Structure 1
Amino acid sequence: MAEYLIDQRDLEFVVFEQFGFDALLKSEKYSDFSEDILRDTITQAVKFAGEVLAPTNDEADKFGCRLVDGKVELPPSFQKAYNAYCENGWAAPGQSAELGGMGLPLILAIIAQEVGIAASPSFMFFPGLTVGAAHLVEAFGQETLRDLVVPKMYTGEWTGTMCLTEPQAGTAVGDLKTVAVPLAEGEESTAPFEGLQEYKITGNKIFISAGDHELTDNIMHLVLARVEGDPVGIKGISLFLVPKYRFDKDGKILGSNDVACTAVEHKMGIHASPTCSLSFGDEGECRGFLIGEQRRGIHCMFQMMNEARIACGVQGVSLGNVAFQRALSYAKERVQGTKITERDPNAERVTILQHPDVRRNLMICKAYGEGIRALLYQAAFHADFAENHSDEALRTKYHDRLELLTPICKAYASDKGFKMTELAIQVHGGYGYIQEYGVEQCMRDVKIASIYEGTNGIQALDLLGRKMRLKEGGLFMAWLQDTNEFIEENAEHTALKKEFKLVEEAKNALAEVSFHFMMSGKEDPERAMMGATPFLEMFGHVEVSRLLLEQAVLADQKLQALFTEKNVAEADRAAFIKESVDARFYDGKVKTAQFFAHHILPEVYSLASGIKADDRSALDIDFM
């Protein structure tokens, strides 16, 4: 079994030093928490993931999941781990305590998610999807239904799914064929409460993650369907809660709701997460309850989809960093060859960590890994402040910033997480290609994050075609203003002056390209949209470089304070950094930001060149 490795020091640096918890703890919602409580929570999350979840991963990858006699079989270790997960309160750490969650700040929920995915990726689909589904019911469900269903989901007694995709309706969800028909007068209702709008549901859904299993007594499926007679397209779609089993007002299971799993996909990765084909209403007896307003299903579902997109980014952060930590550990131990500067064939053999190309690959992983972690943790802070900040204007600002950056969180983090797994395999050499060291599984498990919950191409279109236009470009202009202020404040930084100049130039290139789209989009919309994915990558590079420089400024302050406190002379600082864990950590932050600015950030210029090129070759070619 591959070792479970988490850089807890970096998690805590981002939370407590980079973003700071003081402002969050001043809000009424979190006034009962303290930094000590939150640090202890992180430690407990890491400990639980390592001791309880990580031991399930090897079996999960090898056993997978199987459809046997109409039932989905999971790895035997999952049931015990799931029970412990729920008993320890991890099922819904960031959700309302009144409804069964832990009521923690969202950043703690993101961390619990990251360390859980790092331990056992397939396992985390069950609680992860359940929280999103329950939160949607909490927001839009009828009160009596909400008060029964949501606590059962937040405590893990029941699980949940999101059911959008059909064979002919993937990204084009408006093409779905699942139908909802209101009960005819005189038909017997199965609703547990009076006042629920009950419908007969008929249709088929595919690619439903955690779609069927025996971990819990019931599964709440959130199903998009069209009420008979409603318009075609997304404007005619409604949302329904469709339980696997019918239940009464006390939650007692009454029997089948005519929902069946007809197939389980055999996938590249996440082998033990059952990706199911589900059939609703084969016998004409499937019932569902309207969530939200009729024909407002997409509006409701977008809440869960946006949360799921953040979760995709966390998946990239988690598995990319796991792969990096394993590659780093391997590079420190694997002895191969002599130093490149050594000419004596009998010279001492060194670890591959001494080889420049290996160090470059590891540094790319470190820079991406710490950058995308900061990107996703920042999103969690934005989400919490958007809801809980005392200043209404700041609540709006944080909401807008989260809107702007969500497609980047999803697409950039999942793409770079995959890139990190590729480089981690490369560092391992041939050993990375076999199962023993675990990095090839990281690659297989993370790839899906760039595909589901709206492919990364869709995220790029959302960023360029919608988010950049919101409030007449106001969201992007506000980001530009904040970035400009940060650069101006630090333009003469002693250790980072060159890097701030590089970020300023890259930011200007990004702004120039954004204005280019205003003209090219009118002249040739297809060619303009061909630049959406490169534009998202440009934006991701600049934002991550900004975040890494933010870390570097703080780290340099801490490093200089250590030198002063320990009275370290200039000539002795390199040796001190090697000996001091804190000094080495902070020095690493400075060097990581420098590396990203010099070696990765310049990619924005080649991306910009392609976007601005007057070239339609990809559109005009007649593919054979």
Structure 2
Amino acid sequence: EVKTAIKAFCDAGLMAAGQDYDFGGMQLPVLIEKAGLAYFKGANVGTSSYPFLTIGNANTLLKCGTPEQIETFVRPMMEGRFFGTMCLSEPQAGSSLSDIVTRAEPQPDGTYRLKGNKMWISAGEHELSENIVHLVLAKVPDENGKLIPGVKGISLFIVPKKLVNPDGSLGERNDVVLAGLNHKMGYRGTTNCLLNFGEGKFKPGGQAGAIGYLVGEKHKGLANMFHMMNEARIGVGLGAVMLGYTGYLHALEYARERPQGRHPMNKDAAQPQIPIVQHTDVKRMLLAQKSYVEGGLALNLYCARLVDDERTAESEEARRNASLLLDILTPIAKSWPSQWCLEANSLAIQVHGGYGYTREYNVEQFYRDNRLNPIHEGTHGIQGLDLLGRKVSMHGGAAFKLLGAEVQKTIAKAMEVKELAGFARALGAALQRIEKVTQALYAAGDMNKTLANASAYLEAFGHSVVAWGWLEQALLSVGKTGHDADFYRGKLQACTYFFKWELPKVHPQLDLLESIDTTTLDMQDAWF
């Protein structure tokens, strides 16, 4: 079934939807491409992971690869004949990529021989395609045969499962093998593998070692791989949104069809039961889900538009601004939906009651699938460190200031709309507090203290950014009438919920941050 579904996806030209006509693409803007492909994430995130990893792999090679590499590997990927992966982590080096030890030994013919192990590799082995193109981070030893410590020694390599002959036909098997499958809580439709490179089971050219081809400059591997990693992070956020969204739609349908109980003031047991969607607490749970998933969707589609602006905006300043905004929003676009759309999945189970806890309904699977998203492609904590430790201060705080200016534009527009002025003031107050807290954190004089509560900073910042997105949606919804009036009324009600129930949560977090609280920093191992 997976192979049939992916073949239909590829036959429709969707693998190359965002690529040039030369690659059989539709040249769709990234915004349209991501919006369209989001439906596949909502339908089956496990199956859709194979093509989406391939698209990210191909995009990285289009930016960093040679013309020969693009012709040899990217074209077959865009045709759906080859699939791609990203091989970063190792058993001893998950988030800490500076500690990888996979070696890449240079060969006289300009290739490299890789030896090492890669862990947590999604789509690392399968029979869904003719070939698998692994993008592998490894270290080239120095003249003394030693690996360079830290990220400076990391390079990026193409390591195909099967070698490709000059005429494009498949050659002998490369020395990369499946060492084991990881048995996961969710995302079970996507294989997740431990791969061994260069163990000698296969000996291409008569010797052990997986043959790899350098991508870009030597020792620039992590920078090159970040093209794929940043795309993957936004992809993770969008995937989290769509898992939350499909759970919400299942919960909404169930709530409309499931009769149970009566209104609190109706004590007549002879009266028929009402659908649970009429119960206030069920409406609360559905509103929360709607506010999370539609807020997260707006954020991720805005990031997709920034990718377009980064490439195609008319002025250099506009392109630079899009790049700055994308930089500061990426950790939020990845982590906020991964946290709060997972909460939406939890609420979807709750709406189903006892049935939601069984496998008779899909909502338990959506939760299991979505639980991965706060973990992979940079954990929640790492995204917090990235935002507070790097993104808000980079280029003298340029991205932080630019984002604040963009939010202020929305606030100014909303202040002119009677129904939204209160929300505008609330967002303005949150923004002012974030600016003040950020200054206080950097004035602490000790980066250990500054970053101690980075996760709380990420969550407060993220809630404020999503509130901004909701205010933008509300501006488009006020006063709308006609056949779709209920759609816009639903937007306004979800916006109201977010501003009254969710945005106030940021202030206790900001209080904690502003006090430079060291409770977690001071905790000692022996005290647990």
Structure 1 and Structure 2 fold alike (TM over 0.5): yes
| Residue 136 in structure 1 maps to residue 53 in structure 2 | no
| Residue 544 in structure 1 maps to residue 505 in structure 2 | no
CA distance in 1, matches of 2:460, 2:19: 34
SS where residue 112 of structure 2 aligns?
strand
Question: What one-letter code is carried by the residue in structure 2 that aligns with 1:217?
Answer: E
Aligned twin of 1:407: 331
Match of 1:208 among 121, 127, 139: 121
Contact 1:412–1:540 at 8 Å: present in 2 too? yes
| Residue 111 in structure 1 maps to residue 35 in structure 2 | yes
Q: TM-score, normalised by structure 2?
A: 0.95
Structure 2: tracts of 5 or more residues without a match: 201-207
Alignment of 1:224-623 (within 5 A): 224-229=137-142, 230-283=147-200, 284-520=208-444, 522=445, 524-559=446-481, 562=482, 580=483, 582-622=484-524, 623=527
Aligned twin of 1:73: none
SS where residue 453 of structure 1 aligns?
coil
Contact 1:496–1:594 at 8 Å: present in 2 too? no
Q: Tell me the CA shift for residue 498 of structure 1.
A: 1.6
Q: Tell me the CA shift for residue 127 of structure 1.
A: 0.4
CA distance in 1, matches of 2:101, 2:41: 34
Question: What one-letter code is carried by the residue in structure 1 that aligns with 2:434?
Answer: L
Question: What one-letter code is carried by the residue in structure 2 that aligns with 1:536?
Answer: L
CA distance in 2, matches of 1:104, 1:180: 37
Contact 1:113–1:314 at 8 Å: present in 2 too? no
CA distance in 1, matches of 2:39, 2:4: 19
Aligned twin of 1:66: none
Aligned twin of 1:219: 132
1:383-419, CA deviations, whole angstroms, 9 ceiling, x for partnerless residues?
0011011111111111111111000000001111101
Aligned twin of 1:54: none
Match of 2:13 among 74, 89, 110: 89
Q: Tell me the CA shift for residue 612 of structure 1.
A: 2.2
Aligned-CA RMSD value: 1.3
CA distance in 1, matches of 2:138, 2:159: 11
Q: Tell me the CA shift for residue 541 of structure 1.
A: 1.1
Question: What one-letter code is carried by the residue in structure 2 that aligns with 1:529?
Answer: L
SS where residue 159 of structure 2 aligns?
strand
Deviates more, 1:293-302 or 1:612-621: 612-621
SS where residue 47 of structure 2 aligns?
coil
Match of 2:76 among 152, 155, 164: 152
CA distance in 2, matches of 1:487, 1:112: 30
Alignment of 1:9-48 (within 5 A): none
Q: Tell me the CA shift for residue 614 of structure 1.
A: 4.7
1:115-139, CA deviations, whole angstroms, 9 ceiling, x for partnerless residues?
1111111111110111111111111
Q: Tell me the CA shift for residue 276 of structure 1.
A: 0.6
Q: Tell me the CA shift for residue 442 of structure 1.
A: 0.4
Q: Tell me the CA shift for residue 326 of structure 1.
A: 0.5
Aligned twin of 1:176: 100
CA distance in 2, matches of 1:478, 1:272: 41
Contact 1:200–1:286 at 8 Å: present in 2 too? yes
Contact 2:289–2:344 at 8 Å: present in 1 too? yes
Match of 2:111 among 198, 210, 219: 198
Q: Tell me the CA shift for residue 527 of structure 1.
A: 2.7
Contact 2:254–2:352 at 8 Å: present in 1 too? yes
CA distance in 1, matches of 2:413, 2:65: 47
Q: Tell me the CA shift for residue 358 of structure 1.
A: 0.8
CA distance in 2, matches of 1:272, 1:320: 18
Match of 1:162 among 86, 106, 112: 86
1:423-476, CA deviations, whole angstroms, 9 ceiling, x for partnerless residues?
110111101111121000000011111111111211111111111011101111
Question: What one-letter code is carried by the residue in structure 2 that aligns with 1:550?
Answer: E
Q: Tell me the CA shift for residue 318 of structure 1.
A: 0.4
1:23-82, CA deviations, whole angstroms, 9 ceiling, x for partnerless residues?
xxxxxxxxxxxxxxxxxxxxxxxxxxxxxxxxxxxxxxxxxxxxxxxxxxxxxx112212
Question: What one-letter code is carried by the residue in structure 2 that aligns with 1:613?
Answer: S
SS where residue 342 of structure 1 aligns?
coil
Deviates more, 1:136-145 or 1:270-279: 136-145
SS where residue 169 of structure 1 aligns?
coil
Deviates more, 1:534-543 or 1:375-384: 534-543
Question: What one-letter code is carried by the residue in structure 1 that aligns with 2:506?
Answer: V
Go from structure 1 to structure 2 and tell me whether the alpha carbon gap of 1:285 and 1:621 turns closer, same or farther (over 3 Å shift).
closer
1:122-166, CA deviations, whole angstroms, 9 ceiling, x for partnerless residues?
111110111111111111112112122111111211011000110
Question: What one-letter code is carried by the residue in structure 2 that aligns with 1:213?
Answer: H
CA distance in 1, matches of 2:33, 2:373: 19
Q: TM-score, normalised by structure 1?
A: 0.81
Contact 2:452–2:518 at 8 Å: present in 1 too? no
SS where residue 94 of structure 2 aligns?
coil
Q: Tell me the CA shift for residue 550 of structure 1.
A: 1.1
1:81-112, CA deviations, whole angstroms, 9 ceiling, x for partnerless residues?
12111111111321222123332111122123
CA distance in 2, matches of 1:400, 1:445: 31
SS where residue 122 of structure 1 aligns?
helix
CA distance in 1, matches of 2:523, 2:141: 42
Contact 1:92–1:127 at 8 Å: present in 2 too? no
SS where residue 177 of structure 2 aligns?
strand
SS where residue 104 of structure 2 aligns?
strand
CA distance in 2, matches of 1:205, 1:293: 22
Contact 2:137–2:154 at 8 Å: present in 1 too? yes
Structure 1: tracts of 5 or more residues without a match: 1-76, 190-196, 563-579
1:544-564, CA deviations, whole angstroms, 9 ceiling, x for partnerless residues?
1111111111111433xx4xx
Aligned twin of 1:31: none
Q: Tell me the CA shift for residue 177 of structure 1.
A: 0.9
Question: What one-letter code is carried by the residue in structure 2 that aligns with 1:474?
Answer: A
Aligned twin of 1:99: 23
Contact 1:101–1:155 at 8 Å: present in 2 too? no
